Structure formats: structure tokens, C-alpha cells
Amino acid sequence: MDIAPIQPAIEKTIKDYDEISQMSIYSGNGFIMGNLRPERIGKLLPEVEALYGVYQKDANQAVLDGKPFSCKLFEFVKDKREN
């Protein structure tokens, strides 16, 4: 399967829809076929996808099982200028 067209489609979708901030496409074994971060393409979800936080195992299992998965996470990043 030629996965070359997947990455441009992901980038266009993220650009065209303000409500989408992250998007990935995985094969049935968790192989990353397209990702917000292109350097992750060709790796496996559990190896590099930290965006699911505490739900990473659940997300990977959903991919392996071919089932829908969604989660909401909030991450607070402290301004390094604050002491």
C-alpha cells in the first residue's frame, strides 16, 4: 500500500479545520501511516505517541482491536520564565 498521499491529506485537514489540532492515521497494528509530526511516520503508536497521556495503552488497544477511541486531555505547560 502506498502511504505517500496520507501525510499531505492530514496536513490539509489540520490546516482547513480549526477544531482539529492533532490527527494521526494508524494501520491495524499501530504502524503510523500519517501524523501531525511527520518524523513519527513508520514507527509504532506505543513507541512514539505520548499525546494520549495516561490513555496511551487504551488508544493502542483500540487500534489493535479496530474499535473507536476518543479521550480528552488537558496539559498545563508552565512558562519557563516563571520561578
Residue-wise pLDDT for 55-83, tens only, equals 999 999 999 999 999 888 766 556 666 55
Tell me which residue range forms the domain holding 14: 6-65
Number of domains in the chain: 1
Entry field: residues in the chain: 83
Output the pLDDT for position 56.
Answer: 92
Place of cell 480528552: 72
**Distance of alpha carbon 62 from alpha carbon 24, whole angstroms:** 14
Assigned domain for 75 exists: no
Assigned domain for 82 exists: no
Assigned domain for 35 exists: yes
pTM of structure: 0.79
